[in-house]
């Protein structure tokens, strides 16, 4: 079992039309992990499989799937919170994107 985790340093948003061959995604540059690709499936569609990918230059190291209705929440987190962390456990193919601990009422 390997757990990959690190702080998100940069991100890119790729919102595509439904006719596109690939799904909309958010690309993350994650310290100590590499590139993570968050893919988004439409409601009623099919989620892909979360996975750690083999090392390939120019491609993602980790791929995680979310429903499209989570897009605005993830974008809000990336734009307004710091730090943001990614964790991926390849034993159960599950991961998370989360913030660090913050004081209550910080008014961010």
CA contacts within 13 A on the Cβ side of 3: 7
Picking from 20-29, 71-80, 87-96, 99-108, which range would have the lowest pLDDT averaged per residue? 99-108
pLDDT value for 107 = 65
Among residues 60, 5, 73, 50, which one has the least CA distance to residue 27? 60
Q: Could you tell me which residues come within 8 angstroms of residue 17 by beta carbon, excluding any fewer than 6 positions away?
A: none
Say whether pLDDT at 67 is over 90.
yes
pLDDT value for 91 = 92
Q: Could you tell me which residues come within 8 angstroms of residue 49 by beta carbon, excluding any fewer than 6 positions away?
A: 65, 93
pLDDT value for 12 = 96
């Amino acid at each position: 079992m390997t757990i990959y985790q690190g702080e998100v340093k940069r991100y890119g948003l790729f919102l595509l039309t439904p006719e596109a061959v690939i799904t909309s995604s958010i690309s993350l540059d994650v310290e100590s992990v590499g590139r993570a690709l968050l893919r988004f499936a439409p409601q009623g569609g099919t989620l892909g499989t979360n996975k750690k990918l083999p090392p390939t230059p120019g491609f993602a190291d980790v791929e995680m799937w979310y429903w499209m209705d989570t897009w605005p929440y993830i974008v809000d987190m990336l734009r307004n919170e710091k730090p943001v962390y990614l964790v991926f456990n390849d034993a159960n193919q599950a991961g998370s994107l989360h913030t660090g601990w913050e004081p209550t009422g910080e008014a961010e």
